[in-house]
Structure 1
Amino acid sequence: LGLLKTGDPLAQENATTALWNAMVDNEQSRADLIKHHGMPLLIQQLMAGTAIGQELAAGAIWKSCANDASTKSDVRQAIPGLVNLLRSGTPAAKEQAAGALRSACVNSAPNKLELNRVNGISALVDVMRAGTARAREQAGAALANACANSSENQKAARHANAIQVLVDMVQQPAGLSADMLECAVAALRNLCVNCPDNQMELARCGGVQPLLMLLRAETRPQLLEYAAGAVWKACTHCEANRAAVRAHGVRAVQNLVDDPGLSPEIRRCATGIIKIVDVAPPAAL
């Protein structure tokens, strides 16, 4: 940490590298970083370090909060620098910054509000549009986490055209990793929870139909759960989305309800869809 305070740019970069390496699978090193007031020094690297130093500083911040909820308040002060890195960093730095924001927003309303304050939602959406595959995955997960139980970020995401970007991913999944597709669907779900405006925007984008296609064809449990949850939450305040389910998806949803091999959560979401669209189960063939 002393080199981060007083070293020249190359020494600071080397010190950040050493910190990053020390924190790999080492909870004590992560705790020591906070204990010894290392977060402000990493933030300094985010704002003024070399390109490699910025990337490594974002990665170290990501590691510091990935598995330790107690660091969330310390990480909050890094959010403006992380968002700045999303906008102007190298492709690798953008991936690390998005990953750090992904972890920073888990179960932290103050961090979500800080991300909103510095216009971080639009920066995440920009990375999802044009970043590398790995950066897009982390940005999608960060968006999903940031919008969970946050009406402010749900609104910001709508204004940043996030819903169209996400629907495009789900409609054209070729080239997307399984994790990226899961992140996109989870983000759509979280954007729609108790948000009539976002549900209507999803309808305008034709977003329910590709989600229903996943319910017909997908076998991965996590993606099925996210897709069923997204359809359910999209229908709570939007008749257009309920109509889309009635027209194109009742049988697929009922098949999920009736499948004892699926998880309770998938079947719960599917049952919620059937109830909210207010249809009788389809007749057996």
Structure 2
Amino acid sequence: MAGVDVPRFGQALLDLVQDIGRIGAFGDVYKKECSDLCRRIALLSYLFEEIRDFKGIHGHFSASTSTSSSSCFNDLLVALKAAKLLLSIAANYDSGTSHDLCAKEISLRFQCITWQLDKALGNIPYDHFNVSEEVWEQVELVRSQLRRATERNGSPDSRTLCSVLSEPVDQEPDILETGEGAFENIANVDHECQEMGDIVTKGNGKIGHNIEQMIHECERPKRFLTSSQVCKLNEDDNKKPDNLDSSNSMETKKTEPVTIPDDFRCPISLELMRDPVIVATGQTYERSYIQRWIDSGHKTCPKTQQNLQNLTLTPNYVLRSLIAQWCKKNNIEHPMGSRSGRIRKSDGSFQDVNEEKEVIDTLVHKLSSRSVEDQRSAATEIRSLSKRSTNNRILIAEAGAIPLLVNLLTTEDVRTQENVVTCILNLSIYENNKELIMLAGAVPSIVQVLRMGSMEARENAAATLFSLSLADENKIIIGASGAIPALIELLSNGSLRGKKDAATALFNLCIYQGNRGRAVRAGILIPLMKMLTNSSSCVVDEVLAILSVLASHQEGKIAIAKASTIPVLIDLIRTGMPRNKENAAAILLSLCKKNDENLACIGRLGAVIPLTELAKSGTERAKRKAGSLLELLCKLKRL
């Protein structure tokens, strides 16, 4: 059966985006919802352009694409048509002439379309449409915005979703139903998943089961919040305080959501800017997002499309100050921040912290002293306090300690520097402090400590970079700061603890694709291979975790094969621990997919026998990986 006209389909999606962009000004009632949805859909135009320009066989995608993969395109078309109709209605909605039921229905439709767009975008076979890395990242940005909106408003139930999306939105002929066959006939796309997905949940900084075990084995396990603990904190933050009276509760319910001024939003992410920077064209962006744009190879301003004369990012202090004033005026603050000497506990009640606050304020004041002894003693005390509790981490940050600590990172007093970098590490455990540390410009100084500090300072600098990189946007900033070569140096020549800290930081940074190439070019494979072949090495798990991430990147895959890693991985399948065998098989599978040269190599090296044994007696995951490799070897023999 003939395939489907993919370019024509891409053009149909682009036409829908353009139609939505022409809807025009929105009324006050649903202005925010309409604007947010329009902006997110507009960002998808780059994806649809690449789908339109996709050239398969004579510009058609073959009938071998899977039905499950094809359904996402139908879902996407339906969701965009529903969005077009909803925006047309909401744009002209007049609360004075409509009933409450109508308003509730419109809100529900926004909720349903947001959920459906995220679902459809998550199922697109990006690899098989040759979607570029920068466009894929832009789609991931849109999806993260859609997910956050869904989390705020809740997921729709299936009955409501069907009701909203099944209604006829217009009478346009379905572009997918052509004389050549319906889009459902696209079958069996080999949509290759990233093998590192079994080790880490992609893109969100959360640790998977193997790397999580690796972190538990580190010598500093209590300094980091696990992803489940972060989720628990978020749940606790959202709990209603028991001692608030009902009148306050009613007032809260009636409070209208605050609309972020357009000038305070990053033109790329559409989110409130925390670290606005100015590019050469005079436009302002959130630092992490414009850095990602530049790292992807772009030399133009995203908003104006003008060429950037230079790639300098200048902090926009005036706008940052205005945003801070706006946040204060609208009572936008940290959910667990202190209020009038009290901190809200996880059960919703408040704890008096006036006494602790006075002590901390005094210590923070001493940090700015000209006396080296005062600075050292204050840093020592703050290090101890920041290790004890979340409350202390909140109070220390609110007392203004973070900028002062960052200034002291470059002190010549070794003991002060060790205490200061450890203070920042401890403070970064509290999620909201990560942003404050980044805004204080801490990363370059932390990298300097990583390069030139004492071994204790270097270890804790690496651990701090790991903690900060748990936030996705920070992975980009840290990767661009020169941290990766410094971490590789510590991985090569550090103490055992230093190597472990460097490995966990490098692993987490390389979750962001742009950092994988940096790590390979900085020579990461040299220390990795040395540790992998050292029989006394205690970091084999860490090495395999990093290799798993790098093997999902084309540059990394080539470099791993050239580093003669394949024989070592086969030996691990023969003699390694069960978890080592499992991860070695996963890496080999990544190296051999769509690469007959690597596949022939493992065949020549006698991998069939250990793989057969692993397929029979390994862990469940190891059996799957070994079985897939054996199938590929059988296919190669038949060619």
Q: 1:104: Cα distance to partner?
A: 1.8
TM alignment of 1:1-285, pairs within 5 A: 1-6=364-369, 8-48=371-411, 50-66=413-429, 68-76=430-438, 77-106=441-470, 108-148=471-511, 150-174=512-536, 176-177=537-538, 180-193=539-552, 195-219=553-577, 221=579, 223-236=580-593, 238-248=595-605, 249-259=607-617, 262=619, 264-275=620-631, 277-279=632-634
CA gap of 1:52–1:189, structure 2 versus 1, over 3 A, is same
1:250 and 1:104 map into 2 onto residues whose CA distance is 43
* CA-CA distance at 1:186 after TM superposition: 1.1
Q: TM-score, normalized by length of structure 1?
A: 0.84
Q: What do residues 144-201 of structure 1 show as CA deviations (whole Å, max 9, x unaligned)?
A: 11111x2221111111111122112101242x22xx22212211111221x1121111
Question: What's the % identity of the aligned pairs?
Answer: 22
RMSD of aligned residue pairs (Cα, Å): 2.4
Checking the alignment, whether the CA contact within 8 Å between 1:199 and 1:235 is kept in structure 2 is no
Q: Distance in 2 between matches of 1:225 and 1:18?
A: 45
Equivalent-residue separation in structure 1 for 2:628 and 2:468 (angstroms):
31
Structure 2: which 5+ runs fail to align? 1-363
Distance change (3 Å), C-alpha of 1:168 and 1:79: same
* C-alpha spacing 1:51/1:274, structure 2 compared with 1 (3 Å): farther
What's the offset of the Cα at 1:112?
1.5
Q: Higher Cα Rg: structure 1 or 2?
A: 2
Equivalent residue letter for 1:105: S
In the TM superposition, residue 224 of structure 1 has moved relative to its aligned partner by 4.1
Q: 1:271 to 1:85 in 2, by over 3 A?
A: farther
1:191 aligned partner, one-letter code: L
Give the drift of 1:87: 1.0
Bigger Cα displacement from structure 2, 83-92 vs 249-258: 249-258
Larger RCO: 1 or 2 (CA < 8 Å, sep 6+): 1
The Cα of 1:141 is off from its aligned counterpart by: 1.5
SS of the residue 2:634 aligns to: coil
Please tell me whether the aligned partners of residues 4 and 16 of structure 1 are also in contact (alpha carbons under 8 angstroms): yes
Give the TM-score taking structure 2 as reference length.
0.39
Q: Gaps spanning 5+ residues in structure 1: where?
A: 281-285
Distance in 1 separating the partners of 2:600 and 2:451: 39
Determine if contact 1:9/1:49 at 8 Å carries over to the other structure.
no
Distance 1:115 1:72 in 2: 13
The letter for the 1-side match of 2:616 is D
The residue identity in structure 2 corresponding to 1:8 is: S
